[in-house]
Structure 1
Amino acid sequence: MEPDLFTAAAEDRQEKDPSSSPLAVRMRPRTLDEVVGQQHLLKPGSPLRRLVGESGGGPAGPSSVILWGPPGTGKTTLAYVVSKATNKRFVELSAITAGVKEVRAVIEGARRATGGYGKETVLFLDEIHRFSKAQQDSLLPAVENRWVTLIAATTENPYFSVISPLLSRSLLLTLEPLTDDDLRGLLHRALTDERGLGGAVSLPEEAEEHLLRIAGGDARRALTALEAAAGAALSKQEEEITLLTLEETVDRAAVKYDRDGDQHYDVASALIKSIRGSDVDAALHYLARMIEAGEDPRFIARRLMISASEDIGLADPTALPTAVAAAQAVALIGFPEAALTLSHATIALALAPKSNAATLAISAAREDIRKGLAGPVPAHLRDGHYKGAAKLGHAQGYVYPHDVPGGIAAQQYAPDAVSDKQYYRPTRYGAEARYADVVDRVRERLGRTDDEDGTGGTA
């Protein structure tokens, strides 16, 4: 079985009857100049343009490429364009369904094609991160001998998911999420181009904005939704895709939300305040609004990390690691799966015991600094590792806490100006109750008793 025969047949059918292919396939760029977005990869003289021979001297550098980026940013498209620009066979495999057997079959077919009729092969391997180390190892001979031009796509960090020998032999290109302007240009082209809808319907601004929101930076999702909505409009003999038709088609109500306006901040504020108020249902409502509006998941994750320290702190010491882990996961997987991670973190933070003691503590300490309450560092705490420090009295008389029973040395640590200040006032909520007991014992050992009336020894 020669995969190139089926690829050629599919391309022939598309040329004879373009309507037989999905809109996303019909609108696939044929040259690098037609590619939407990724301008940082498409500059004159860029590695990608040299790869397709636009530098004037034929392909240069590594003959294999790893494309890293979120779904729908054009990884398959770039692989297809490279094959067309270099006049090579295009064979596509998915690491989800293919194994070593299929890879070897393609490589053997590529060797026969090169030797038989001089046709080189582009092997596009989607989701390479799903291949095991042994499966990735099977690609190395073909890459080293240039039997194929390997273009591998991944949504995960290739430094963690791709073996080093393969990574070192490949050109790594990072794709960025498509902007609304990128997608808007793509939609306009699909509406008017003969390969697309050929002007059969129009897309009013209100419907266009909703389509951009539900696309979430994914070109494939945008074109799929546009095609379905256009079909629905034409079946009703309508000349434009109304917001109602679009909503009915994609089964999603338009969210009244302006990512660049007041509601962007209002909804984000409501999310955090609902978490602070422990109303998990309200928090999930606002999270859903932000997701459905196409909010950047990284923005949501950043707000959750802030909330973990601002509103929970040591009442639940696991809150911040949970939020940080969510942010890392979001950066790796992107939407739509990132919605699950954000929900996980939002629920955990909303139901966690609350404390703003860490917030109040650093605010009080910074306020005293602004008032000029600083003063010199006590001499016994200063650096004593340089010649002449002892003559200056630096580090002299310092008591090493590990040499003292209990590990707490009763000596002055703060400058004189703030030696009686107690900035941290732990609550008795959740795990912070334990910290409250600890800080009381430590301050007593240090000879710094708590001033309950808030005078003298308080922040």
Structure 2
Amino acid sequence: MHKPLADKIRPSELEDVVGQEHILGKNKILNRIIESGCISNMIFYGPPGTGKTTVANIIARKTSKRFYRLNATNSSLKDIQDIVDELDTFMGREGVLLYLDEIQNFNKKQQQSLLEFIEDGRITLIASTTENPYHYIFKAILSRSTIFEFKVLNDENIINALKRAVEKSKSFYPGMQVDVDEDALNYFAASSNGDLRKAINGLEVALYSTNPNSDKVIHITKTIAEESTQSKILNYDLMGDSHYDILSAFQKSIRGSDADAAIHYLARLVKAGDLPSICRRLLVIACEDVGLAYPNAITIVKSCVDAANMLGFPEARIPLAQATILLATAPKSNTAYKAIDGALFDLEKVNIGDIPNHLKDSHYAGAKEIGRGIEYKYPHDYKNNYVKQEYLPSNLRGSCYYLPGDNKNEKVASDYWKNIKK
């Protein structure tokens, strides 16, 4: 059976693992734990191809416990039970180290089935996940584990690992030389999006598909690297962290008036083809972050959104970019957002009282007999269409939800009403 190159050359020592210096560097916490040999329950969290499985394998070699590996994608309660059945046998006398890959795919019952054995130490759990553990892992397991975040590898990390892969792969081609151009290595790294496994898979395709020349050299050029690598795949899952992280960065960049960053994150969303999320977020931003500083923004954004939905991708990217740049460069105000949230807060926390009688509906026979609408003053009957009267419930009298923002549009409106009301 063919074994992938990434598995053939997987590091067996910590010093060969690239990246993750924040936890694996000299004197860093995970490094110290592994070197001590006193392994506790751990959860490795991070994108694919960042070293989670490799580090788990290295830990397994440094412990006397019996090692099991399960993938939650295709494992069941029976698989866990089979492991549990060995705990009281000779084979499990030192305890068990269980590496559970993609733990987010286990439901609550499956995760709970491990608790008793984690609690008494008979099973030491190392779980890995590409999703936020605080969203997907049972809280009782979280409370008994240390979470380590594995970060996306940079190009330098990946190039160093690829050079090691090239050296290791030479032993698979006896009597031949392997030569990979520097710009080919750079291309593998750039197209991997921080996923080392993807970069090594590209190198593997290049090696297997390239015949040696007359000098018995397998020479990998940038052109071969481009042919051997699939188009760049972004880390984006409609139900996962990356979806919400990109949308969050998109809105925060617009709110921060950085048009270039906003367009960058829009491009990620466009690349993922996530038209509904883009449209919804743009409409929210127009009201939440631009708001009354530029009230026409929502009208223009709605037109851009309608156009994008009519056009579909790829053309939809153009009106979406127009709306994004408009919002990023527009003056900002969140006064409407703060006003409604303040009012909603009072609904939950304050005894708001009754609507004043003069504001209640009086368009029916008998309304006046019960005091409805009698003292209401019709503003259009007064100068400047304004007359002072109480509109809030008596329990909320004096409450202020809307505070005009420090921008031209709201200042003009505020000054106008100050003049009228005085």
TM-score by length of 2: 0.59
How far did 1:33 drift? 2.1
How far did 1:43 drift? 3.8
Q: Which residue matches 1:103?
A: 80
Q: Kindly indicate whether residue 400 of structure 2 is the aligned counterpart of residue 423 of structure 1.
A: no
Give the Cα separation in 2 of the matches to 1:224 and 1:94.
21
Give the match's secondary structure for 1:193: helix
Q: How does 1:77-96 map to 2 (within 5 A)?
A: 77-96=54-73
Give the match's secondary structure for 2:89: helix
How far did 1:284 drift? 5.7
CA contact (8 A) 2:212 2:219 kept: no
Q: Which residue matches 1:72?
A: 49
Give the match's secondary structure for 1:223: helix
How far did 1:75 drift? 0.9
CA contact (8 A) 1:126 1:152 kept: yes
Give the Cα separation in 1 of the matches to 2:188 and 2:211.
18
Q: Which residue matches 1:39?
A: 21
Structure 1: which amino acid aligns with 2:223? L
Q: Kindly indicate whether residue 141 of structure 2 is the aligned counterpart of residue 157 of structure 1.
A: no
Structure 2 residue corresponding to 1:181, chosen from 135, 138, 156: 156
| Aligned CA-pair RMSD | 4.8
**Closer, same or farther: CA 106–348 of 1 in aligned 2, 3 Å:** farther
Q: Which residue matches 1:222?
A: 199
Give the match's secondary structure for 2:12: coil
Q: Percent identity?
A: 30
Q: How does 1:346-385 map to 2 (within 5 A)?
A: 349-350=320-321, 359-360=330-331
CA contact (8 A) 1:271 1:287 kept: no
CA contact (8 A) 1:215 1:221 kept: yes
Q: How does 1:91-240 map to 2 (within 5 A)?
A: 91-115=68-92, 118=93, 120-193=95-168, 200-234=177-211, 239-240=218-219
Q: Which residue matches 1:22?
A: 4
TM-score by length of 1: 0.55
1:118-175 deviations in Å (ceiling 9; x for gaps): 4543211111112222111111122112222211001122122212211111121111
Structure 1: which amino acid aligns with 2:419? G
Q: Which residue matches 1:243?
A: 222
**Closer, same or farther: CA 272–85 of 1 in aligned 2, 3 Å:** closer
CA contact (8 A) 1:190 1:197 kept: no
Give the Cα separation in 1 of the matches to 2:146 and 2:61.
19
What is the total number of aligned residue pairs between the two structures? 311
How far did 1:422 drift? 6.5
Give the match's secondary structure for 1:28: coil
CA contact (8 A) 2:66 2:97 kept: yes
Give the match's secondary structure for 2:18: coil
How far did 1:233 drift? 2.0
Give the Cα separation in 1 of the matches to 2:300 and 2:114.
42
**Closer, same or farther: CA 31–350 of 1 in aligned 2, 3 Å:** same
Structure 2 residue runs of 5 or longer lacking an equivalent are 233-257, 273-277, 292-296, 302-312, 334-388
1:304-339 deviations in Å (ceiling 9; x for gaps): 99x9569x94434998xxxxxxxxxxxxxxxxxxxx
Q: How does 1:229-378 map to 2 (within 5 A)?
A: 229-234=206-211, 239-252=218-231, 288=271, 313-314=290-291, 315-316=297-298, 349-350=320-321, 359-360=330-331
Structure 2: which amino acid aligns with 1:188? K
**Closer, same or farther: CA 49–112 of 1 in aligned 2, 3 Å:** farther
Give the Cα separation in 1 of the matches to 2:300 and 2:117.
47
**Closer, same or farther: CA 149–242 of 1 in aligned 2, 3 Å:** same
CA contact (8 A) 1:123 1:148 kept: yes
CA contact (8 A) 2:11 2:17 kept: yes
Structure 1: which amino acid aligns with 2:330? T
Structure 1 residue runs of 5 or longer lacking an equivalent are 1-18, 254-267, 276-282, 292-300, 320-341, 363-398, 427-438, 450-459
Structure 1: which amino acid aligns with 2:105? R
**Closer, same or farther: CA 34–274 of 1 in aligned 2, 3 Å:** closer
**Closer, same or farther: CA 50–114 of 1 in aligned 2, 3 Å:** farther
Structure 2: which amino acid aligns with 1:447? N
CA contact (8 A) 1:89 1:121 kept: yes
CA contact (8 A) 2:286 2:298 kept: no
CA contact (8 A) 1:27 1:196 kept: no
Give the Cα separation in 1 of the matches to 2:328 and 2:391.
26
1:391-425 deviations in Å (ceiling 9; x for gaps): xxxxxxxx998469x99999xx88xxx9xx96127
CA contact (8 A) 1:111 1:147 kept: no
Structure 1: which amino acid aligns with 2:130? T
**Closer, same or farther: CA 20–195 of 1 in aligned 2, 3 Å:** farther
Give the Cα separation in 1 of the matches to 2:38 and 2:157.
28
**Closer, same or farther: CA 125–181 of 1 in aligned 2, 3 Å:** same
